[in-house]
Amino acid sequence: MVGPPIGSEPSDAPWFGARKLLVPLVFWCGCNMPSQAANTANEGDTKRRTQVLHEECDIASAGSERLDANGDGRADITIVRAQGRELCRAVDINFDGVVDTWSYMNPAGQLRRREHDFDRDGQIDEISIYAAGVVVRKQRATTNVGRLDTWEYYENGTLVRAERDSDGDETVDQWWEYTRAGCPLMHSDANRDGKPDPGTTIDYCKDTGYVPPERQSYRQPESPDFQRSDAVPTETDVTEVEVQKQPPPPQEQPK
């Protein structure tokens, strides 16, 4: 069974915990997809650091600003500043007393890093890195073991490729290429040589029948154009109604 493609959900979805149940991809052999190597795979460059590192944000500092959004007496947003500049902020989105999102700013005031705890367990599930306020890569922990297993790469804010450690050995064994949004080509290394194996490439949407959700556009009904005479409602005179009379029943003729 293959789970939903990486990056198919909004990254800030509060139901992200469901993705922690994602079963590692089962290698499909004998696939009729032509064998091809992922252009992101480099032999000998598949080791990854899987430790989830939280960047310090001193929300207990005396100069931090604390905002209580729901009036329960505890801070839901804490902003840490230094010399008048915002350094970072912590946000409790669901008001349960646990920080869900940590955001960090660069000297220009632009977002440079964001950490998310999507499943409310107090552990970071996703780290996003930004350049000039635009996301360039993400590190994700999609299982419940508290280790990074997925690394995503973005161009102009769009996901273009990803690497995955599906068996938790700190070595990349899957490469995901997004030639189409939501429909990755997935290459796997089953023999542990650090390269995609021939015959294991999956065209996710083609081979599973998955159809990525499309944004629907709803057309608003057109408003009447009161500048046109034919667009103005007309009144109907109901004072005179022509009623069609039914003919009387035939009379029986005398015999």
Report DSSP letters for 77-116, one per residue.
Answer: EEEEEETTEEEEEEE-TTSSSS--EEEEE-TTS-EEEEEE
Q: DSSP secondary-structure letter at 165?
A: -
pTM of the predicted structure, to 2 decimals: 0.67
pLDDT in tens, the chain (255 residues): 445 556 554 444 433 433 443 333 333 333 333 333 344 444 458 899 999 999 999 999 988 999 999 999 999 999 999 999 999 999 999 999 999 999 999 999 999 999 999 988 889 999 999 999 999 999 999 998 899 999 999 999 999 999 999 999 999 999 999 998 899 999 999 888 888 999 989 999 999 988 887 533 444 444 444 444 454 444 445 444 444 555 666 666 655
Angle among Cα 41, 127, 39 to the nearest 5 degrees reads: 15
| Token pair in block for residue 184 | 């990755």
Nearest Cα residue to 148 out of 158, 136, 140: 140
- Provide DSSP, 210-244: --PPPPP-PPPPPPP-TTSGGGS------SS---P
- Look up tokens 């999609």; give the residue: 142
The Cα 238–Cα 215 span in angstroms is 48
Residue 56 burial (CB < 10 Å; 0-12/13-18/19+)? exposed
